[in-house]
Amino acid sequence: MAEAFARVYGSDVMDPYSAGLAPAAIIAPPTIDILGEKNVSIGGQFPKGLDMMERMPFDIVVNMSGSKIALPDAMLIEWQVVDPIGQTDQVYRAVAERIEDLVMRLIIELRNLRR
């Protein structure tokens, strides 16, 4: 969800990529549905593990896993977000709202830094 929101709203200040500690085989259908309700496309996205990102340099890493991670040379931001997998559509919507809000706040911060 975060990558999709970031691509739609913040492509002028970021080139987002998402990865997980234990990625699923597919993007959960409720994620696709709820993002679709917001006219946010996940085109080209697929679940990826951190190992796919090892060689990529990042300025900022947002951790929503609740687990400790360390990526050299990157500023680490921790977001507390519930994992909606296996939950109701209501939980998915609440999580999408939370992630959308956090992504928008980060985008605004980055835009302010560019001034």
| Domains of the chain with CATH codes | 2-109 (3.40.50.2300)
The model's pLDDT over 25-81, given as tens digits with 9 standing for 90+, comes to: 999 999 999 999 999 999 889 999 988 887 788 999 999 999 988 777 889 999 999
Q: What pLDDT score does 84 carry? A: 95
In the chain, the amino acid numbered 37 is E
Q: Are 31 and 86 in contact (CB under 8 A)?
A: no
Average pLDDT over residues 73-91: 94
How distant, in Å, are the alpha carbons of 35, 42, 78, 97 from that of 39? 6, 10, 27, 14
Q: How many CB atoms lie within 10 A of CB 7?
A: 21
